[in-house]
Amino acid sequence: MKEVLSRVGIGSATVDTVLPTTTLTAGESVDAEVHVEGGSTDQEVDAIYFALLTRYETDDSTRTGVVDKFRVADPFTIEAGERRTFAVTIDVPRDTPVTVGRTNVWLETGLDIDWAVDPDDEDPLQVAPGPRLATVFDALESLGFTVRTAECEAAPGGLFSGSFVQEIEFVPRSGPFSGRLDELEVVPRPTADSLEVGLEVDRRGGLLSEMSDLDERLTRLRFTDESADEVERRLREEIETHA
């Protein structure tokens, strides 16, 4: 009976990932421990799996987006009541969404057990931007912009690859664009050696232009290893061109 119950999750093994911190930086690696505790009966575990997840909006629903997923550990048996600890290294992809605005990111850990409900564990994360994106954020702040909101959305065709992107909405509270722009929408896309940034410049316009979206201008910049001053200069010139 215990074996039957464990297959539907009653008295099954449990799993818990212990991170040194829940604040991570996109592009970094972090060492963690996975604690597995046996249930009321022995169980065969094929693997420990991880998924880094977020939510993104489509035109008609909210979906769970997979930033990354991977498996660790060889198959093993967790005996009833046994406790085992596994040391793992978790790589946080450089394109992990930053947890600002309405963006949530969490780590799901699970045990792959045949013919049973897989036990799992969820850990909410705070994700800070990688160095290049942090420089862009600092430059926009210097230009008088502040973050109003952010969320992940289904990727618009032709802008970037992938099923979803993060859109971060800034508003000019001061500086050279205050009173000239309604908002600036930023879509970052880090790669191994650069950062692509899609910009949507939403100019202040009359009712007609607002209704027809004529006040919006799309552009894109690519950054590699420019200085903070150079990043700010390029952003200012590009926004100025479309303001």
Q: Provide the residue ranges of all domains of the chain, joining segments of one domain with +.
A: 2-128, 131-242
> Does residue 40 contact residue 11 with C-beta atoms inside 8 Å?
yes
CATH class of 2-128: mainly beta
> Does residue 22 contact residue 37 with C-beta atoms inside 8 Å?
no
Q: Give the integer Cα–Cα distance in Å for 44 and 29.
A: 29
Cα atoms found within 13 Å of the Cα of residue 4, Cβ hemisphere only:
1
| 243 residues of the chain, pLDDT tens digit each | 333 333 333 447 888 999 999 899 999 999 999 999 988 888 889 989 999 999 999 888 899 999 999 998 889 999 999 999 999 999 999 999 999 999 999 999 988 887 445 567 889 999 999 999 999 999 999 999 999 999 999 876 544 445 899 999 999 999 999 988 889 999 999 998 999 999 999 876 443 344 445 446 788 999 999 999 999 999 999 999 987
Chain centre distance of CA 144: 25
Structure pTM?
0.84
